[in-house]
Amino acid sequence: MAPSVSHAHSDPSPPGGFWGPPTSTLDWCEENYFVSVFVAEFWNTVSNLLMILPPIYGAIRTSRDGLETRYVFAFLGLAAVGVGSWSFHMTLQYEMQLLDELPMIYSCCIFVYCLLECFKRENSINYIMITILLGFSVAVTVVYLLWTEPVFHQVMYGVLVFCLVLRSMYVVTWVYPWLRPLCYTSLGVFLLGFILWNVDNLLCDTLRAARLRLPPVIGAVTQFHAWWHIFTGFGSHLHILLSLQTRATYLKRRPRVKFICGVWPMLHAEPRRRS
């Protein structure tokens, strides 16, 4: 994921590897091709596994529970961001950068739709809202392809996140206050990732110098952009669960949270009651 402007830190790593010199408009603090000649940014790449595998399982679980397809798309959208981010950090090629950044807009539009439609009749479709969000996605895509300014992408992504925060706060303040812990945890985890992302940008030269003196394993822990992937992926996953639990509660499906391996939360809803 890359909602950022590029930094101008000097990179002591080789100028190219298996994928050739970077062509992306962004390059991150992790030293290029330092771990493997086949992966430009190793830790920024593999950290995306937690943004790919759990959402895929979530999509399968949601489909099996018979919940609405929009939530399957929400999970798959998050997984698509993870795949795009993996491709971008592995290659640092401009085309892969777009595969990372644009799905962030598209998946957030799905999140917005799901949360705005939580209190409608089952399987209802709001064509007006879909048209608005689709138009927004197309407009952002066209502008960003013509004007390759990362700040523009950052602002558009921020607008969507702001909408999600406002709607989430409405739900847990006025409708289902007992969902506040899940909502606040989601926001807190995302905020922690954002803080670490800023530390990685602002203190890049210091972090790179420290890694030269630290053992490799400890140095890997200082790859804060990789932690951004982990925390924002987890925060986004919790947001989908918040939206799902709100929807399933409204539909009287008695949702409950289960944990994969005692760590990663998933939501299970009871089957529809037949009249």
Main-chain dihedrals φ then ψ at residue 269, nearest 5 degrees = -120, 145
Q: What does the block give as tokens for 119?
A: 């209190």
Instruction: Please determine, for residue 241, whether its predicted confidence score (pLDDT) is greater than 70.
Output: yes
Q: At what angle do helices 224-250 and 94-116 cross, to 10 degrees?
A: 30
- Its pTM stands at 0.91
What pLDDT was estimated at residue 267? 84
**What is the average per-residue pLDDT within 227-235?**
95
What pLDDT was estimated at residue 266? 84
What pLDDT was estimated at residue 259? 81
Helices and strands (DSSP H and E) totals, the chain:
10, 2
What pLDDT was estimated at residue 9? 44
pLDDT in tens, 113-143: 999 999 999 889 999 999 999 999 999 999 9
Cα 212 from Cα 170, distance rounded (Å): 47
Write the CA distances from 22 to 19, 46, 247, integer angstroms: 8, 19, 43
Q: Which residue has the higher pLDDT, 259 or 102?
A: 102
What pLDDT was estimated at residue 270? 74
Instruction: Please determine, for residue 273, whether its predicted confidence score (pLDDT) is greater than 70.
Output: no
pLDDT in tens, 36-86: 999 999 999 999 999 999 999 999 999 988 889 999 999 999 999 999 999
Fold of 42-268: Rhopdopsin 7-helix transmembrane proteins (1.20.1070)
Q: What does the block give as tokens for 256?
A: 């409950």
Per the CB < 8 A criterion, the answer to whether 12 and 31 are in contact is yes
Q: Which residue has the tokens 């994928």?
A: 19
Cα 87 from Cα 82, distance rounded (Å): 9
**Domain ranges for the chain:** 42-268
Cα 145 from Cα 98, distance rounded (Å): 9
Helix ranges restricted to H, the chain: 42-46, 49-64, 69-91, 94-116, 127-146, 150-170, 180-202, 204-213, 216-221, 224-250
Q: What does the block give as tokens for 200?
A: 């990685």
Q: What is the mean pLDDT of the chain?
A: 90
